[in-house]
Structure 1
Amino acid sequence: MSNAVRATADRAAAAEQYQGVVADGRWRRLLAANGPGYLFLLPWLLGFLGLTLGPALVSLYLSFTDFDMIRSPEWVGAANYVRITTADPKFAAAMKVTLTYVVLSVPFKLVFALLVAMALNKGVRGLTVYRAVFYLPSLLGGSVAIAVLWRQLFAGDGLVNAALSQIGIQGPSWISHPSYSIYTLVALSVWQFGSPMIIFLAGLRQIPTDMYEAASLDGASKFRQFYKITLPLLTPVIFFNAVVQTIDAFKAFTPAFIISGGSGGPINSTLFYTLYLYQEAFGNFRMGYASALAWILVLIIAVFTAFSFLSSRYWVHYDD
């Protein structure tokens, strides 16, 4: 009986050793096949873990604490979130300004970008030059220098009012008047139409020209061709641009910070959500509270993105 038990144990040990050898060989083959790829991905993985995922998880923890960057974080639970949603009037003001900016800037930018893309799609000479010139504001628009220039343009004695005075109009100080200051930032955003324009132009180039020729033979007007051919076939591109530009609009910071001097403008008229977050974090040193504000912004963007994808099935038309 002992010999049978010993033989069974030997067979089990041999089987386990065989499985270990097989597993080791499998890992060796996988490492040989995929090792170079993971080696090239290593810098990105280190950056993602150390500069994106790690800080995000730390900020999530800090959002449940009272932390002023001097003392150790003190756990307060959901108190920051409760205060934001029930006892913070500046949060409501920042949300109102941000939503106004998003609702105005994104549609105007997309419409303007589409119109310019359609004009460039007519086969104009020097297309590459026009594309570069129109794309340039998208590269420069988020810089501090452009924001300073914009502030000078729309100041009380700026170039805009100087031009208006030539036709007998006395313009206000656009950046310091609470009724107009937000519109200067919307104009700056629309001016940066180059990125969606390039994407619209690429989408227009993919629409078969024979569809327009057939519609023309049937007597369809240019407007009807645009409504029945261009828009339906361009809806995937419109959807992509709308999602990307809306997310960027929610995250806008530099123009409002520079033009308003970091104060949010007169009576919070340019108090963007990100600017308010910055004030709480680095002005009032309420890092825990600012972290909670940041995660609420993440939630808002996530809800918008999810709603966009859910609604896209009703108006976005793909090849099928």
Structure 2
Amino acid sequence: MSRLGNFFIHRASHENGKVTFEIGVDTHAPTLVNAFSETLDDIDHLTINYSAASIVLQSTDRSELTVREFMLVDEPSYYAHVTHEDDTLAITAGERPARDNLNIRIELEIPTTYHGRLEISSVSGPIEISNLHDLKSLAITSTSGAISLDDIETSNLSIDSITGTIKGRGLIAEDYTINAMSGNVSLMNTRGNYSVRCSAGSLRLDDAHGHGRFEVTSGTAKLCFAEVDGNVSAESSAGSVRLQVPRELEYGFNLETSIGSLKTPDNAHYSNNERNYQTGAIGAPSDLVISMMTVVGSLALETR
């Protein structure tokens, strides 16, 4: 029997001279093949460079970083290796055989006492991160694969994704920088200063607190703020944009579209009220400004 990753080909010879082949998929889950722990004393920068695998990170009350690797094949050359340099600890994937699917998963438990920088880089495979608090920064770079974040608190959060969805829930950051080339972005119950750009895919923000800039090249954007504490800008080259803000909020606004409709709250006071361009204010004069623009698509500014 020959094997290619999860796929197998079984050749059988029979007495009548016939030869048959059986082709199938091995659905067995990967098993634990490697585990180790590392101290993070005097470490301020933790980097994880791991490819062709699922990456799972969560917190632990234990004092050391714990790493577990799961694979279909127990091959030591595939194990991750660790390097120390100054205040940086790096975990890097081992060898990856060409044209093979080992169904690899790496699980990392990070001590709650670690408050430094965390950097994750992946070529392919999903990334799941949960229950990490008080980090200096969290930086994620992914070529292909879904990214899921839950209950994260960090000073700076940056995500660069080429292909794959991005989902976040219960996130707190002073600054967000999210760039998604292809894939939907969905954030729920988040707080901070946002800079979000989606090249191809929809953008959805629910129960947001803060302010920021949102750009969608091709796709729709629906942004729902529970609290606004600064200027908000939302733009789309081709697609509709819907923005909801608290009813009691006072602000100035400007909306512009080349082809599409505009919608503003019923209590708006206009300084310009044209078909494709509207400016004005809601409530008393305010330094807070909401800007919305699209080339092709409708714009809706609403209260919640």
Q: Common fold, TM-score beyond 0.5?
A: no
More strand by share: 2
Alignment TM class, shorter chain as reference: under 0.3
More helix by share: 1
Question: What is the TM-score when the length of structure 1 is the normalising length?
Answer: 0.20
TM-score normalised to structure 2 length: 0.21
